[in-house]
Every structure is written in structure tokens, then in C-alpha cells.
């Protein structure tokens, strides 16, 4: 297996192959940070134990994440998970608990 998302240099976008399955998790640095809500390509994603899994759809679509952060000074990281391996995607801060990520699905 391999990581499915690739960052586009000089942007805040990611690219991936249409149809590939992606799993995102959080890692606590201070306090507790977890994915509370996720929307992708205008659909609400199921959040299970602070983890989301979704298939990349074709074209440029937005992934909107809302994080539950306790206490209000909590910090963490958003990670892509592949089996037992993880890869850093973004920092998460309690003072900014919502993030939008553009993902371009390519065939």
C-alpha cells in the first residue's frame, strides 16, 4: 500500500487518483484533537473514533474538516494513514478548529 494524497508544491492543494481510498486521523500534541465533522464533495462523511475514510472523486473538490479540541489551547496534527504508517498533512489548532482542503482527483 502507499499514501494516496500528494501535496502540490507552492499551494495548499493535494492531488490523488480518482477512486483511491484515503484515511485521515489526528495526532495529539497538547490536549486532545479529533475530527468531529467532515464534508467532502458536498457529502457528509462518517466520522468513526475521530477517523474518516473516503474515496477521491474526480475534479477539484473541497474537504471541510471541523475539529473537536480540548482544552481551548489544544494542538495536533492531521495525518494521512496507510496501514500502520502515517504522514503529516497539516497542523491543527484549537483557535482555528475548521479547515478546508482542496483535493484534485485525477484519472
- Rounded Cα–Cα distance for residues 68 and 89 (Å): 18
Using pLDDT thresholds of 50, 70 and 90, give the confidence band for residue 93: very high
All cell numbers assigned to 28: 495529539
Give residue 63's pLDDT: 97
Using pLDDT thresholds of 50, 70 and 90, give the confidence band for residue 12: confident
pTM score, whole prediction: 0.94
Q: 29 pLDDT exceeds 90?
A: yes
Give residue 1's pLDDT: 61
Between residues 57 and 49, which one has the greater pLDDT? 57
Mean pLDDT, all residues of the chain = 95
65 and 26 Cβ atoms separated by less than 8 Å: no
Amino acid at each position: 500500500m502507499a499514501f494516496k494524497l500528494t501535496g502540490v508544491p507552492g499551494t495548499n492543494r493535494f492531488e490523488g487518483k480518482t477512486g483511491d481510498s484515503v484515511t485521515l486521523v489526528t495526532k495529539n500534541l497538547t490536549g486532545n484533537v479529533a475530527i468531529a465533522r467532515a464534508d467532502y464533495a458536498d457529502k457528509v462523511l462518517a466520522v468513526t473514533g475521530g477517523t474518516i475514510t473516503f474515496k477521491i472523486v474526480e475534479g477539484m473538490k473541497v474537504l471541510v474538516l471541523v475539529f473537536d479540541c480540548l482544552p481551548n489551547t489544544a494542538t495536533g496534527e492531521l495525518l494521512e494513514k496507510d496501514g500502520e504508517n502515517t504522514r503529516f498533512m497539516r497542523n491543527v489548532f484549537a483557535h482555528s478548529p475548521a479547515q478546508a482542503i482542496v483535493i484534485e482527483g485525477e484519472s
